[in-house]
Structure 1
């Protein structure tokens, strides 16, 4: 009986950690900005604290592609912050996806608890400081 309870609890933890966060990416949100005002996109970020893993799917349009960089940064809206998780930038089709391993579990916990204190952004040759950006949200 105890084993079944522990298995059930373990499954609950994995599901809770695997809940995705999202961001709506726009050029107007870039700081300092603006970024590419024609650009838009979405980012879905899935945090797996127990595995030290951050998985992502990014789709962008209206910007010069392929992108040159994509990241999760630490900063609330209106402030530029440091890169905390590097992501694979979108290719010529405007998409990228994958998982970053070896991410500090404490950082993953902080992002999960306060997603609006973090943002995703995508850089390109026209906007090396950032073409589109969006705060993470639950």
Structure 2
């Protein structure tokens, strides 16, 4: 009985240390938080939703993870959201797909995490003005609202 208890205790301790190690690695890799407001007027080439607006907070981890809280207002239900690489006033390629998990939505707010590469995460943090976030929906499939990071 004592041997079984010891084995079980050891397994619990090893599992706990593993979780702490992973959490510590992500925590240590966390480098920065970025925020921006979004609007239909910023969509390029446009038009975006003239009444649409929103706000996004990004937590960027150099290990290759972007966690975000996205709040939208006066737009239809989002169907997609992305981080693109391009300066203000230009359209650019998607570099991070921000999952739109409708089950994870709370009203007009969505909090989730998306994978990326460590190189992209580092560049977003080093040059945030070279990136923007946009949100798509059925009426505006090319983009309903957009916000430039680093503004």
Give the structure-2-normalised TM-score. 0.75
Q: Which runs of 4+ in 1 moved over 4 A?
A: none
Structure-2 residue corresponding to 1:107: 120
- Whole-angstrom CA distance in 2 between matches of 1:74 and 1:15: 22
Name the SS of the counterpart of 1:28 in structure 2: helix
Which structure has more helix as a fraction of its residues?
2
Is the CA contact (8 Å cut-off) linking 1:74 and 1:84 kept in structure 2?
A: yes
Displacement of 1:95 after TM fit? 1.7
Name the SS of the counterpart of 2:45 in structure 1: coil
1:29 matches 2:42 = yes
Which one has the largest radius of gyration? 2
- Whole-angstrom CA distance in 1 between matches of 2:110 and 2:34: 16
Structure-2 residue corresponding to 1:95: 109
Name the SS of the counterpart of 2:123 in structure 1: helix
Displacement of 1:14 after TM fit? 3.2
- Whole-angstrom CA distance in 1 between matches of 2:83 and 2:101: 14
Structure-2 residue corresponding to 1:127: 140
CA RMSD, 1 decimal: 2.2
Is the CA contact (8 Å cut-off) linking 2:37 and 2:55 kept in structure 1?
A: yes
**Structure 2: gaps of 5 or more residues:** 1-23
Displacement of 1:15 after TM fit? 7.7
- Whole-angstrom CA distance in 1 between matches of 2:36 and 2:47: 17
Cα deviations by residue, 1:53-86 (Å, 9 ceiling, x for unpaired): 1111100011112x11001000011101111000
Name the SS of the counterpart of 1:14 in structure 2: helix
- Whole-angstrom CA distance in 2 between matches of 1:47 and 1:16: 6
Structure-1 residue corresponding to 2:89: 78
Relative to structure 2, which stretch is displaced further, 92-101 or 30-39?
92-101
Structure-1 residue corresponding to 2:11: none
Give the structure-1-normalised TM-score. 0.82
Q: Which of the residues 53, 70, 81 maps onto 1:58?
A: 70
